[in-house]
Amino acid sequence: MTTPSAMRTRLTSLATALRHFHSALLDVARSEYEFREGHIEGPFALYNLVMNHPHFQWLRPLSGLMATLDEVIDSKETLSERHLQDVRQALGLLTGGMDTRFADFYAGYQQARATPRVRETEAQVHELLDRLDA
């Protein structure tokens, strides 16, 4: 059995890996946007687009999962294996392509997988999940 402190460390590692994955997906979406619309002037302009422009909407479910995971890690709640399984299940819903609520995410994710960085960061998330289960 994993102690709550060790579980917090495990979930923090997973949150870091998910941020790298999200960053890779965001880079793809940003490149596509800039190809069509022109250069994005700085991080605040990008933030505004990510939050409000339909081109970036597909990323929002993963952003929400990451925010929820950060809230869980920062909470005073005792963490358990169930929290890890919840993240795994949520990630499976996003990347599995079976849940129509996440069809936009899945379509963008599938397109972005053509880039090496997305594949690498996704593999790192899955490798970490496998190690955390061991």
- Residue 52 burial class via C-beta count within 10 angstroms: exposed 0-12, middle 13-18, buried 19 and up: exposed
42 falls in which pLDDT band (50, 70, 90)? very high
100 falls in which pLDDT band (50, 70, 90)? very high
Q: Is the pLDDT of residue 4 over 90?
A: no
- Inter-residue contact 40 to 114 (CB < 8 Å): no
DSSP 8-state secondary structure symbol assigned to residue 100: G
Q: What does the block give as tokens for 44?
A: 């605040």
For residue 37, give Cα distances in angstroms to 33, 53, 55. 6, 12, 11
Q: Which of 133, 125, 119, 127 is nearest to 27 (CA)?
A: 119
Q: Is the pLDDT of residue 40 over 70?
A: yes
Residue 25 domain boundaries: 4-133
d(CA 123, CA 127): 6
- For position 1, what pLDDT does the model report? 64
d(CA 5, CA 14): 14
- Inter-residue contact 84 to 132 (CB < 8 Å): yes
Structural domains of the chain, count: 1
134 falls in which pLDDT band (50, 70, 90)? low
d(CA 36, CA 89): 35
Q: Which of 52, 64, 58 is nearest to 28 (CA)?
A: 58
